Structure 1
Amino acid sequence: MMWMICLFGGLGAMARYVLDVSIQRGWNRENRRTNRNFPLSTLVINGVASLCAGIAMMSYYSQSVDMDTVMMFVVGFLGGFSTFSTALNEVVSLIRQRRFTLALGYGIATVAVPLICVAAGFGIALLANPA
């Protein structure tokens, strides 16, 4: 079981890299003229991971999925996919650039968006499998 969690963690990290690069390319292309440097990709990735975690956990609670599957997906894949440490590093980077308002907003969003996404994931799972 442990090796499966590790394998899924590696797959999650690879998925994060691909999504991160894709979002950054698109975001940077759109904002090249305005010189806005907002770390959108990490916020999106953590939101998606939280949404998926909410769905997975509620699916487990409703007994649609077994614990081993949840562990491989949530701890393994989503653990490798999400990146709270990068989000905190980006807040510090914005502070070092003296972009205090953006740092504060991003810091709040870094906490609020995943919480909202987990709740949305719970709701989606409940709609899909009413008990």
Structure 2
Amino acid sequence: MPVVLWVALGGAIGSAARYTVNVWSGRMFGTEFPWATLTVNVLGCFIMGALTEMMALKLNVGQETRAFLTTGILGGFTTFSAFSLDFAYLVERKQVMAAGGYAIASVVISLIAVFAGMNLVRTLIAS
């Protein structure tokens, strides 16, 4: 099976897992604070770190398995885990300034983009 299909299958699993956490979190903690998003981001980052280290040090897995687990399942669960792994790799390569710039740019530009998208739709709907 082509790698892209493994990623798609993993993405479906990760998205379903995220939905499950969203429902569970809402029932457990309420919806006044984004507990579900915080939960999937932290859990996804922990799993990404542990999984990639296991694959690097102990598990002999192919490209399909790696893509299925990381880009697929974890990518469907939370893309924040991919961001965090990229940041960690930059730090481990001693590219601290690049890592800091990446983190700041990712958060700030993403927040600007969210507001820009919201404002665009509000403008188009209001006119």
Per the normalisation by structure 1, the TM-score is 0.55
2:46 counterpart SS class: helix
Q: Shift in Å at residue 15 of structure 1?
A: 0.8
CA contact (8 A) 1:9 1:76 kept: yes
How large is the Cα RMSD of the aligned pairs?
Answer: 2.5
- Structure 1: which amino acid aligns with 2:66? V
Question: Could you say which residue in structure 1 is the equivalent of 2:61?
Answer: 66
CA contact (8 A) 1:23 1:41 kept: yes
Moved more, 36-45 or 62-71: 62-71
**1:52 maps to 2:54:** no
CA distance in 2, matches of 1:11, 1:49: 13
CA distance in 2, matches of 1:22, 1:65: 34
1:82 to 78, 81, 92: 78
Change (3 A) 1:63 1:83: closer
**1:15 maps to 2:17:** yes
CA distance in 2, matches of 1:70, 1:9: 13
Moved >4 Å (runs of 4+): none
Give the number of aligned pairs: 82
Deviations 1:51-99 (CA, angstroms, capped at 9, x unpaired): 1111111012104141432211010000000154xx977xx79xxxxxx
Note the residue ranges of structure 2 that are not aligned, 5 or more in a row.
81-106, 116-127
The structure having more radius of gyration, on CA atoms, is 2
Mapping for residues 27-42 of structure 1, pairs under 5 Å: 27-28=29-30, 37-42=32-37
Note the residue ranges of structure 1 that are not aligned, 5 or more in a row.
29-35, 94-131
